């Protein structure tokens, strides 16, 4: 009898300990998700990377076609869809490197890039392009020069304007020295000088300082953010964490996070981009719409990551990518008549303006539950503790499904 009584007493105590332990272990993440602002209208931003240095003709043609496509649509406020262009401002000057034996670059100031700059300006004037800083180069020049890989040397010394997509992935990171793996951190002085140089060139090229920075390959550290902030950058785009290095296998590592929308870093605000729209990898309108549905259930903006490579490659692939993008925007407007098109800097300013987001408790609670479902590892523990039912998507009318990451 005493054994039965002890069991009856111990069982609820053990369960309570499990629940308390789970909540305690995840308290920071759960609180951060609760504090993350809640949007009152769905937001869609197409975030595209890697434009600038590289092949001129194919990029110019692609950008002009994107302007033609995007200007066909308007949201409920009469605004056109915005594609952010994360710009790379320079690439290698192959003949000069061959001649002089040290690194030299060709920037977008070179007259050869005039048609590309004109296409960028055309989209900017039409309100469909918002310019963001990706980097002076999509690599750290001394790391490339130190690389023993002969294909890297050939890339650097090329007569053409080579595309960084052809470099080994780990060498496409700018803010770590990946000439050896695991990569080594850059010096404070090197970071400060490089940020000053890239921000000054961006301003000379486009007449204003960049407000938003997108770290190449999402490898960067707090010192880079602080230097960007000193140079006037207000917003850093993140996939929800910060990777500081490349590990022995060449993969992004040394992570810190999670990071949520509107969170502040050293002098900057973060905006999270962790959904993908890469038609060259098979994504179509359905994947983009699934991401929009999921983000709206979480009362978060839908920032869809895409790359120039979707639009500048083989004609048929580029055509398909454009068609998929048009279909996505058309269906998004049809399914969400209250949808808003914004640029990322404007979105960040909404996060800074109290009162511009929905604050009702039930909306906030539903959004929090939808967000918690994606908190890494939490749902496994919640299941063990018997709490999973609390986060069942069927209890959230607007619940969505996850998009497949690229
Ligand atoms: Zn990139």
pLDDT digits (tens, 9 = 90+) for 297-336: 999 999 999 999 999 989 999 999 999 999 999 999 999 9
Distance of CA 380 from the midpoint of ligand 1 (Å):
33
Distance of CA 172 from the midpoint of ligand 1 (Å):
8
User: What range defines the domain where residue 310 resides?
Assistant: 43-352
This prediction's pTM? 0.89
Supply the pLDDT for residue 398.
42
Distance of CA 138 from the midpoint of ligand 1 (Å):
7
What are the residues whose beta carbons fall under 8 Å from the beta carbon of 55, sequence distance 6 or more?
A: 160, 161, 163, 312
Distance of CA 49 from the midpoint of ligand 1 (Å):
5
**Residue 3 covered by a domain:** no
Distance of CA 278 from the midpoint of ligand 1 (Å):
13
**Residue 12 covered by a domain:** no
Distance of CA 164 from the midpoint of ligand 1 (Å):
9
Distance of CA 139 from the midpoint of ligand 1 (Å):
9
Distance of CA 193 from the midpoint of ligand 1 (Å):
21
Distance of CA 95 from the midpoint of ligand 1 (Å):
25
**Residue 15 covered by a domain:** no
The CATH number given to whatever domain includes residue 304 is 3.20.20.370
| The pLDDT of residue 393 is above 70 | no
Average pLDDT, integer, range 112-130: 98
**Residue 403 covered by a domain:** no
**Residue 382 covered by a domain:** no
**Residue 31 covered by a domain:** no
Distance of CA 192 from the midpoint of ligand 1 (Å):
21
When the pLDDT of each residue in the chain is averaged and rounded to a whole number, the result is 90
Average pLDDT, integer, range 41-61: 97
Distance of CA 165 from the midpoint of ligand 1 (Å):
8
Collect residues with CB below 5 Å from ion ligand 1.
Answer: 49-50, 216
Tens-digit pLDDT profile for residues 242-281? 999 999 999 999 998 889 999 998 899 999 999 999 999 9
Which of the pair, 213 or 313, is modelled with greater confidence? 213
Supply the pLDDT for residue 362.
86
Share of the chain above pLDDT 70, in %: 93
Number of domains in the chain: 1
């Amino acid at each position: 009898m005493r054994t039965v009584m002890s069991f009856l007493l111990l069982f609820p105590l053990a369960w309570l300990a499990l629940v308390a332990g789970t909540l305690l272990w995840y308290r920071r993440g759960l609180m951060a998700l609760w504090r993350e602002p809640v949007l009152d209208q769905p937001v869609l931003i197409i975030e595209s990377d890697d434009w600038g240095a590289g092949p001129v003709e194919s990029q110019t043609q692609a950008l002009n076609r994107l302007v033609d496509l995007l200007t066909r649509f308007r949201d409920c406020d009469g605004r056109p869809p915005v594609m952010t262009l994360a710009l790379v401002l320079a690439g290698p000057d192959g003949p000069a490197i061959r001649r002089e034996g040290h690194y030299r670059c060709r920037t977008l100031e070179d007259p050869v890039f005039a048609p590309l700059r004109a296409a960028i300006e055309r989209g900017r004037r039409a309100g469909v392009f918002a310019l963001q800083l990706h980097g002076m180069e999509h690599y750290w020049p001394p790391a490339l020069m130190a690389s023993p890989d002969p294909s890297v040397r050939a890339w650097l010394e090329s007569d053409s304007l080579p595309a960084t997509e052809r470099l080994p992935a780990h060498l496409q990171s700018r803010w770590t020295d990946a000439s050896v793996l695991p990569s080594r951190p850059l010096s404070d002085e090197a970071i400060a000088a490089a940020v000053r140089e890239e921000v000054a060139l961006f301003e000379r090229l486009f007449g204003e300082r960049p407000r938003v920075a997108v770290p190449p390959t999402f490898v960067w550290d707090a010192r880079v953010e602080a230097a960007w902030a000193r140079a006037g950058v207000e917003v850093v785009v993140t996939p929800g964490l910060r990777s500081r290095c490349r590990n022995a296998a060449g993969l992004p590592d040394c992570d810190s996070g999670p990071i949520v929308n509107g969170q502040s870093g050293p002098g900057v605000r973060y905006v999270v981009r962790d959904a993908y729209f890469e038609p060259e990898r098979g994504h179509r309108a359905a994947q983009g719409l699934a991401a929009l549905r999921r983000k709206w259930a979480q009362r978060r903006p839908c920032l869809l990551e895409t790359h120039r490579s979707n639009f500048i490659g083989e004609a048929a692939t580029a055509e398909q990518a454009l068609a998929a993008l048009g279909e996505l925007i058309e269906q998004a407007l049809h399914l969400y008549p209250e949808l808003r098109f914004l640029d990322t800097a404007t979105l960040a300013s909404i996060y800074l303006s109290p009162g511009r987001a929905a604050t009702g408790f039930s909306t906030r609670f539903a959004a929090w539950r939808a967000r918690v479902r994606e908190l890494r590892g939490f749902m496994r523990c919640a299941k063990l503790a018997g709490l999973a039912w609390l986060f069942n998507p069927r209890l959230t009318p607007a619940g969505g499904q996850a998009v497949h990451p690229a």
